[in-house]
Structure 1
């Protein structure tokens, strides 16, 4: 599984082959032993048992749902936080209905939808916006927002085309953000103290990792050793990046468009998107949109809870 110091894992078959249009946002629920994930293109939220791939439930919506998180004080089997087209909402998982608690502001909002995001150590949600499907070519009209329920969303970055995952180092002193089409992972110094709760808490912006290749870095998670496990859309692989931003390993998969990862113990669950460019019968097309899993021998840092 390793060649000298560079680690390689290879996954041949999916755990669940749903043929998602754009599978994204995997999120582990320890209490129910399930992983939930979205299909942004097909406007669905799937929840599957980690012990039985046939134990699957699906909710379908009338607009894209892009990311999810748990909420402090709420049972996630009942209600969770979701990124919907216009911003952040609370989803009732039993009825499939949701209520917006904070909306993206600005001009041209009919063209925009939310994308990936995560809860920070203070319980706020960071989420990007980008050109919605059906609006022509993606434009640099997106932003990165910091959401809290107590005030309107704050803008951290503008003029983004495909803002993607957000995450923090194990000590919460570094925040990472991926701008996919720029092929870069940005890092900032981050102030995790409670006193910083009303500020953007970011400084010392720098490029942590610059990707070279035909694919684009998509979603990621951070492990307890500070490594970033980063999906690459278009390259059939997940990268393992050291805390210094060096490529130290990769997971190879049988389909091209790898979108995001999630830790379940020492395993990674990996979402993918459909591969419409592949020929009929080609493996990448047959397995595109599937959910994969692989043992990587390290655990993730886990998720913070959104504070209502």
Structure 2
């Protein structure tokens, strides 16, 4: 029987780091070297900051493509190469040369490259396959329901699958602590959906609504903690919300800027990315695009690595 949680609340007033990202996203903890990397999708950058050395240690890689998400690759030193979501699909980035090379594109599913679309958020599953969304790229007018969620298997990259169609802004893919549930967010619809997920064969079934957001903002990126709670950034509402495994709102983190995009656990600390707030004023505008940190007293799940066939 589930124990009902009392509502928890935290308030963060100052940023850990303020790089004035246009669209900060995709924070990923590099445990081996105690660093955090995150992207700026609009400015086509990957930032890495040593949490040992502090905010002054930031290193930035400038790319020529929107970079939307990163992940480690099984058997490859992440200080050498990592997986990135680039405009047309998945690519390997050499962090030393700062060059990338596509390993698969959305076109392997849909038959042709579509300049209107770019990748968005994603994650690897327990089998090492990568689930990634795509959506209308910048410069093509209003976002249309032309995106979806794709599944890439590193052993059969030419046989990728389109799992969910007709989405406008698909966002973070995550898994419950026992890998029995797969979650994804449809930001523009203000909904979070769930599938039953089979850890044995990786199949999904029983697609359903998990949470519907009531409010002016849109749920953006999220992470799952060790107890199955979802910590979900809300774009446009100055907060990260905590949702129980039963889909109930049980807490929130209040922030001084409006456009909150994603979060990542580092021990019991939650690092939170944001986007600019050019239409705002005061501190919300000043701190839009900053990285924040708050101790929330629990830990998150470690991400899986993408498995690429030798």
Q: What's the TM-score bracket when you normalise by the shorter of the two chains?
A: over 0.9
Match of 1:156 in 2: 163
SS of residue matched to 1:66: coil
Deviation at 1:153, TM superposition (A): 1.8
Show CA shifts across 1:77-122 (max 9, x none). Answer: 1000000000001110011111111100235711100000000111
> Which range moves more in the overlay, 297-306 or 148-157?
148-157
Deviation at 1:171, TM superposition (A): 0.1
Match of 2:294 in 1: 294
Show CA shifts across 1:248-307 (max 9, x none). Answer: 00000000000000000000000000001113xx11000000000000011101110100
In 1, are the aligned partners of 2:193 and 2:211 still within 8 Å (CA)? yes
Q: 1:108 to 1:159 in 2, by over 3 A?
A: farther
SS of residue matched to 1:284: helix
SS of residue matched to 1:110: coil
Which runs of structure 2 are paired with 1:217-296 in the superposition (5 Å)? Answer: 217-279=219-281, 282-296=282-296
Q: 2:102 aligns with which of 100, 107, 113?
A: 100
SS of residue matched to 2:261: strand
Deviation at 1:50, TM superposition (A): 1.4
Distance 2:116 2:307 in 1: 29
Distance 1:284 1:153 in 2: 41
In 1, are the aligned partners of 2:106 and 2:113 still within 8 Å (CA)? no
Show CA shifts across 1:171-205 (max 9, x none). Answer: 00000000000101001100011xx15xxx11111
Match of 1:113 in 2: 118
Distance 1:125 1:220 in 2: 17
Q: State the TM-score, normalizing by the size of structure 2.
A: 0.95
Match of 1:214 in 2: 216
SS of residue matched to 1:31: helix
Deviation at 1:135, TM superposition (A): 1.0
Distance 1:174 1:236 in 2: 28
> Which range moves more in the overlay, 151-160 or 73-82?
151-160
SS of residue matched to 2:285: helix
Match of 1:176 in 2: 183
Match of 1:26 in 2: 27
Show CA shifts across 1:126-155 (max 9, x none). Answer: 000000011111111101000112133200
SS of residue matched to 2:18: coil
Q: How many residues align?
A: 298
Unaligned runs of 5+ in 1: none
Show CA shifts across 1:156-176 (max 9, x none). Answer: 011110000000000000000
2:200 aligned with 1:190: no
Unaligned runs of 5+ in 2: none
SS of residue matched to 1:229: strand
In 1, are the aligned partners of 2:88 and 2:113 still within 8 Å (CA)? no
Distance 2:65 2:225 in 1: 32
Query: After the TM superposition, which segments of 4 or more aligned residues of structure 1 sit over 6 Å from their partners?
Result: none
Query: What root-mean-square deviation, in Å, do the aligned CA atoms of Structure 1 and Structure 2 show?
Result: 1.0
SS of residue matched to 1:121: coil
Match of 1:75 in 2: 77
Match of 1:47 in 2: 48
In 1, are the aligned partners of 2:67 and 2:85 still within 8 Å (CA)? yes
Match of 2:13 in 1: 12
